[in-house]
Structure 1
């Protein structure tokens, strides 16, 4: 249930190097992605009065640097969608209890992996299906 700062600091230079050699977007888009992701998760944590941890906020800031604005927003959407679906299912099957926190990081991992590898295809599919 804790994302240690040591882990985030370990991955920061790796992600920055990855960003140099495999750029998905421009540097400005990466910095905006990190800032927007950090701000959105901070806002969610503030409005939910601690329903989201500081580690999740910092992790999404780091992810935003790698993915950029468009893909980090998709990653956040997918993470919330998958996490919410699994959480509701766990509540209905009495595998979880209301008020007991469920770790968000596994859902962040799934949503981010999907956005990283298939994000542009998912966005193109959605736009072509619903806007053409």
Structure 2
């Protein structure tokens, strides 16, 4: 057990994730207004997300640590993408998760890694379930954009990382 002041400065990582949450908030606003996630914006967000292993490896810049962090980012991307893809494929008649949601979750997985991306998805789906139950629609399907819930999950995961 160690005591004292941590020697690692986590503020660059926190600021990076906070900026990522702000970008995701932009996607959420667009999704609320237009009910879609633009592919061009996803392509612009991708290089930012791909920087996550570099930011997590800093300041040591160890090659083996960078490889490990890159593999973790890739696993997070796979988790985000595949879980939402499975949800979309399991939904009736194309209702449910859209392609933009799936691609965004995959890109977000690069930033958060596998365990934190699962937390983002758990928070997002829990909030979406609560809202849909509270709406209590009896006839037809309730259509909710999912990106605002992904944004809430990403913000929650980022803010809980402050220690």
TM-score, normalised via structure 1 length: 0.79
Greater relative contact order: 1 or 2 (C-alpha under 8 angstroms, separation 6 or more)? Answer: 2
Structure 2: gaps (5+ residues) = 1-34, 59-67
Does the 8 A contact of 1:34 with 1:64 survive in 2? yes
RMSD value, Cα:
2.4
Alignment-derived partner of residue 45 in structure 2: 11
> Could you tell me how far 1:100 is from its partner in structure 2?
3.4
Structure 1: gaps (5+ residues) = 122-132
Deviations 1:35-76 (A, max 9, x none): 121111101100014211000000000011100000000000
> Could you tell me how far 1:27 is from its partner in structure 2?
1.1
Does the 8 A contact of 1:33 with 1:72 survive in 2? yes
TM-score, normalised via structure 2 length: 0.65
Q: Which whole-Å CA distance do the structure 1 matches of 2:118 and 2:153 have between them?
A: 10
Matched positions, count = 118
Give the greater-gyration-radius structure (CA): 2
